[in-house]
Amino acid sequence: MQTVPTDPELEAPAPPGAAVARELRARLAPLLRALAGEPPRPVRLTRGVGVDKSLASRLVQATRAESDLEFLHKVPSPTGLRILLDKAQGHAAPRLLRDAAAAVQRFEVLLDSLPGGRQALDAQLGERAGGIRERREQTARQASFKAQSFLFGHYCQALTTALFVLPSHQRGHVDVIEVHRRIGLQRLVSSLPLPLLSVHTDAARHGPRMADLSGNTRAHDAADFLISEACSQPLPELQVVREGAGTTFVLKPGAGVPMPARVTTALRVQRAYRVPQPARHIVLRTYMLHTPCQSLVRDVFIADGLWPDASPRVGFYLPGPSGTPPVLIEPGEPHLRRVNLTARIEQLPPGAAGFELEEAADQGQALAQVLARAGADAAAFRGWRCRIAHPVPLIEMQLALRFAGR
């Protein structure tokens, strides 16, 4: 698969720990070679010096870092380093021990100067080194998933969306078909309703209008939007809650309500956008995740021949003030609400081959059924996929298209 860049990172200044990282690495590396050989091995530290296995492993991993900043991220705390220095007495030259002790002291002074200590340092290092940020972010996301599953009272194993952009029956416009799937839905608290999907459309007479797959804009029953063939049985009983221009599908509360293993809904938005696009970008969809999940997959498919110069971009933003109109933010541009979360977009194989998904064995069949019901050709799309492990709920995820050469 081809990887498509998401929003570019903002240029960050050198972190305050850069000089400390260079010195600490320069002083510790010869000491570790003297104690653990070349290349250093954890077993030599544990047997020769008496360092425990965990500390020895972290020290050796730090020596393999590709950069000084990555070394500073991986190296143990000053307390752990002083344990090494104490046990190394009599096993290394006094000069090596003195130089390393001075560097460890400066490392400790740096951490004491930062509010938040090591966590703040890692955050600053992550601005310059994407790998550091991804590792810390992954740990934070896993912790967030556990906490929010408890607080929200529900979670699911996988949540997938597929957004199909195709020519509209109304000339000069495009429609959007959107498919939502929840795999392995679990409710921890039975007394609360569980919102599954929210859609907001323009209330204007000639603006976008929500419809079922057949194009019926008068569809009001939740059954009109359930894809029964792609749901587990028995079918879940959903409520449709309409508030202004918003429509929300809700799973009713109740201890006796069985939790579906698979829930698939689909809808069509007519006249979603105009085909001529003079702007450099358009925002296709802004998602707000309400369900903690282990895996989030968002796909976008564009009909062949439509917007051939378009490529997708993803951005993450704090929600705007309640009750205010949504603000469409240009992808990649600095904004006060922007959240620096990691995501990658991969280009999929053309046609129905791009529908397959390891999180859901029946994904390809489910999407093909939706398109067949909507009268669309599954082979006539090009697509991209964004996959995120343990996504952060209640953060706006903006899916936009950038047009080349504009």
- Residue pLDDT, tens place only, 181-201: 999 999 888 888 888 776 665
From 2-11, 174-183, 189-198, 304-313, the region with the lowest mean pLDDT? 2-11
Residue 399 is predicted with a pLDDT of 93
**DSSP alpha helix (H) spans, 88-232:** 94-113, 118-128, 130-152
Residue 121 amino acid letter: L
pLDDT of residue 164: 97
Identify which of 240-244, 245-249, 294-298 has the greatest average pLDDT: 294-298
Residues in Cβ contact with 116 at an 8 Å cutoff, skipping those fewer than 6 apart: 123
Average pLDDT over residues 343-365: 92
Give the helix/strand (H/E) hosting 62: helix 53-63
At residue 142, the pLDDT reads: 92
SS3 402: strand
What local confidence, expressed as pLDDT, does residue 317 receive? Answer: 92
Give dist(CA 165, CA 349) in Å, integer: 17
Instruction: Find, among 300, 325, 8, 288, the residue nearest to 179 by Cα.
Output: 300
**How do strand 293-303 and strand 154-167 relate by DSSP bridges?**
parallel
Q: Do residues 190 and 257 make contact, with C-beta atoms less than 8 angstroms apart?
A: yes
Quick one: which of 311, 305, 185, 314 has its CA closest to 251? 185
Cβ-based burial of 366 (10 A; exposed 0-12, middle 13-18, buried ≥19)? buried
Tokens read off for 322: 């309640």
344-362: average pLDDT: 92
Q: What is the mean pLDDT of residues 271-283?
A: 86
137 has a pLDDT exceeding 90:
no
Looking at the chain, the whole-number percentage of residues with pLDDT higher than 90 is 48
pLDDT tier for residue 250 given thresholds of 50, 70 and 90: confident
Contact 34, 99 (CB under 8 A): no
For the cut 80, the answer to whether the pLDDT of residue 75 exceeds it is yes
Average pLDDT on 108-114 reads 92
**What is the pLDDT, as a whole number, of residue 323?**
59
pLDDT tier, 224 (very low <50, low <70, confident <90, very high otherwise): confident
Q: Who wins on pLDDT, 71 or 237?
A: 71
**What pLDDT was estimated at residue 15?**
62
Residue 117's pLDDT band, with cuts at 50, 70 and 90, is confident
Q: Note the Cα 107 to chain centre separation in Å.
A: 32
Is the preceding omega at residue 39 within 30 degrees of 0, hence cis?
Answer: yes
Q: Would you say residue 82 has pLDDT above 90?
A: yes
What are the domain boundaries of the chain? 17-113, 153-403
pLDDT at 222: 77
Say if residue 77's pLDDT is above 50. Answer: yes
Q: Which of 118-132, 227-241, 361-375 has the highest average model confidence (pLDDT)? A: 361-375
